Amino acid sequence: MKWPRLSRSLHRSQRPMRKGLRSPFEEREAVQKRLLDILACPIDKHYPLGLVELEDRGDVIVEGMLTCSECGRYYPIIDEIPVMLPDNLRNKKEDLGFLEKWGSKLPDKVVHGGKPWSL
C-alpha cells in the first residue's frame, strides 16, 4: 500500500502577498466600522448604537465610544475593541480614566450623566 505524499505548501498566512492584494488582517480591519452597525446594547438590546469617533486609522476606530440612546449607557472603544460589558463586570477605574482622557471630545450628557459612571 502506498501512502499519499504530504503537501509541503505553505499555509495561506505564510504565503507572500502578491502586489495589490490585501492580507486577511487588512480585510478584517476594513469591515470594522460596518460591523459596528450590528452591535446592540447588552442591557436593553437597543440598536443601532450611537458612535463617537475619537481616534481612527482609515476604516478602523482605535479609540471611541458607543452610546445607547435608550438607557444612557456608554461603551468605550479602547485599542480597537468595544468594551460592552454589563455594569457589574465593568472596571470603574478604567471607565473613569477614559472619561477623563477624552472628556473634552465627548458629549456632555455622557461625561456628566452617562451610566454606569460619570464625572
- Tell me the pLDDT of the chain (119 aa) as tens digits: 566 555 555 444 454 544 444 444 444 443 477 788 889 999 999 989 999 999 988 888 999 999 999 999 999 999 988 999 999 999 999 999 999 999 999 999 999 999 998 88
Q: What is the pLDDT of residue 27?
A: 47
Evaluate the CA torsion angle 87, 92, 98, 100 in order and state its sign: positive
Q: What is the pLDDT of residue 5?
A: 58
pTM of the model: 0.72
Q: What is the pLDDT of residue 31?
A: 41
CA atoms within 13 Å, Cβ hemisphere of 89:
7
The angle subtended at Cα 33 by Cα 30 and Cα 55, nearest 5°, is 95
The cell numbers describing 58, all together, are 482609515
Q: What is the pLDDT of residue 115?
A: 93
